[in-house]
């Protein structure tokens, strides 16, 4: 197992699609694990990876759209039920996302109370919300001994704030876009990263289906290919796939559009549970 890996815990969108959990990305560095967003089914995907919720050391939230958050309470509550009692640190941009995180367990107070009295375990203290002002330019917002996390505001209007995260580790860097149009902010944050996990929208196909509003605030695949090439990305991983691929032809269409944009590096059209090394030779550009 390489030192740093990134795993897609969910490649879906708000619409339920068989085989695709809600949006989520897991970054692991040695025994340390950070979950970025926690959509529908996240804890099941973690279990399928052989992980319990107590194995998660940090949750980083990108924005307050429900598809990215509906699994967050499940993660925090199940971490407690599975026996980890220290609060889960939660990174969130100040505003609606941080407010959501602070209220995360409010609806579960009576469930927590009856479980606590029944089992004698301590009440959960979390989540430990570490809100930050959404930065206009990439800025470091969290540090440990060997992982540094930077964030930047992205372009998902009218949803504000929304952020992307970059994890710098001794073996390499991985960036997770969250939801955004293709933008200069992510391009700056991702410059030279080994792996970029980016949401992807086949705008032309979406518009043909009469869903222009979706294409308006998501990342066009052709523009994404151009941006990833300019940023010198080693491996580009597409997630939050819109429209969700149901056939091999659909999957190939995502790849073809990104290539049409000019991207020449290693390209992966994401599937749930896909794991990519960060900074290993297989993920290098070329
Ligand atoms: Zn979304
Ligand atoms: Zn969104």
Tell me how far the alpha carbon of residue 13 lies from the centroid of ligand 2, in angstroms: 9
Give the H/E segment covering residue 267: strand 266-269
Residue 286 above 50 pLDDT? Answer: no
Please state the domain extents for the chain.
4-283
CA–centroid distance, residue 108 to ligand 2 (Å):
25
**Which pLDDT score is estimated for 247?**
95
Asked if residue 2 has pLDDT above 60, the reply is no
Q: Specify the pLDDT at position 89.
A: 97
Four-point Cα dihedral 22, 203, 286, 154, nearest 10: -60
Specify the CATH class of 4-283 in words: alpha beta
Q: What is the DSSP letter of 260?
A: H
- The yes-or-no answer on residue 67 being catalytic is yes
Ligand 2 centroid–CA 159 distance in Å is: 7
pLDDT higher than threshold 90 for residue 282: no
| Residue 197 and residue 171 in contact, taking contact as beta carbons nearer than 8 Å | no
Task: Please state the rounded mean pLDDT for residues 247-261.
Answer: 97
pLDDT tens for residues 188-214? 999 999 999 999 999 999 888 888 888
Give the angle 212-216-219 at the CA atoms, nearest 5°: 120
Q: What is the mean pLDDT of the chain?
A: 95
Task: Give the DSSP H/E element, type plus range, for residue 251.
Answer: helix 248-260
Model confidence at 21: pLDDT above 90: yes
CA pair distance 280, 172, nearest whole angstrom: 8
Among 37, 55, 57, 67, the active-site one is 67
Quote the pLDDT of residue 281: 56
pLDDT at 125: 77
pLDDT band at 285 (very low <50, low <70, confident <90, very high): very low
pLDDT of residue 124: 81
Question: Mean per-residue pLDDT for 246-251?
Answer: 96
Task: Read off the pLDDT band of 175 (50, 70, 90).
Answer: very high
Query: Are the C-beta atoms of residues 273 and 236 closer than 8 Å to each other?
Result: no
Q: CB pairs under 8 A, 24+ apart, for 43-48?
A: 43/71, 43/74, 43/75, 43/78, 45/9, 45/10, 45/21, 45/272, 45/273, 46/9, 46/75, 48/273
Residue closest to 37 by CA, chosen among 7, 15, 67: 67
pLDDT range class, residue 284, cuts 50, 70, 90: very low
Residues 229, 231, 235, CA angle at the centre, nearest 5°? 65
**Average pLDDT over every residue of 123-137:** 93
- Position 67 scores a pLDDT of 98
Closest by CA to 132, choosing from 160, 179, 184, 95, is 95
What pLDDT, on the 0 to 100 scale, is given for residue 236? 98
According to the model, what pLDDT value does residue 126 have? Answer: 76
3 state DSSP class of 197? strand
Q: Is the pLDDT score of 218 beyond 90? A: yes
| CA 184–ligand 2 middle distance (angstroms) | 18
Residue 8: the pLDDT is: 98
Q: Which ligand is nearest to the CA of 67?
A: 1
Q: Which residues contact 286 (CB under 8 A, 6 or more apart)?
A: 265
Q: Is 111 exposed, middle or buried (0-12, 13-18, 19+ CB in 10 A)?
A: exposed
């Amino acid at each position: 197992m390489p030192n740093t890996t990134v795993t897609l815990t969910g490649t879906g969108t708000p619409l339920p699609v068989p085989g695709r959990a809600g949006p989520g990305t897991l970054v692991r560095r040695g025994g340390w694990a950070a979950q970025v967003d926690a959509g529908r089914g996240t804890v099941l995907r973690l279990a399928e990876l052989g992980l319990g919720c107590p194995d998660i050391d940090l949750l980083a939230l990108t924005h307050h759209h429900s598809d990215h958050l509906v699994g967050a309470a499940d993660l925090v509550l199940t971490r407690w039920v599975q026996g980890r009692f220290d609060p889960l640190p939660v990174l969130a941009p100040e505003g609606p996302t941080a407010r959501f995180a602070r209220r995360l367990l409010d609806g579960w107070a009576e469930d927590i109370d009856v479980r606590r009295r029944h089992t004698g375990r301590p009440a959960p203290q979390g989540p430990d919300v570490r809100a930050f002002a959404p930065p206009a330019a990439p800025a470091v917002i969290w540090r440990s001994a060997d992982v540094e996390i930077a964030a930047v505001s992205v372009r998902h209007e009218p949803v504000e704030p929304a952020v992307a995260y970059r994890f710098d580790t001794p073996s390499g860097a991985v960036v997770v876009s969250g939801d955004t149009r293709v933008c200069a902010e992510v391009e700056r944050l991702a410059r030279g990263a080994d792996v970029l996990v980016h949401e992807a929208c086949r705008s032309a196909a979406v518009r043909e289906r009469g869903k222009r509003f979706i294409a308006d605030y998501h990342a066009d695949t052709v523009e994404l290919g151009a941006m990833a090439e300019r940023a010198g990305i080693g491996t580009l991983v597409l997630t939050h796939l819109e429209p969700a691929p149901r056939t091999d032809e659909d999957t190939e269409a995502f790849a073809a559009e990104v290539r049409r944009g000019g991207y020449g590096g290693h390209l992966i059209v994401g599937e749930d549970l896909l794991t990519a090394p960060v900074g290993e030779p297989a993920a290098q550009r070329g």
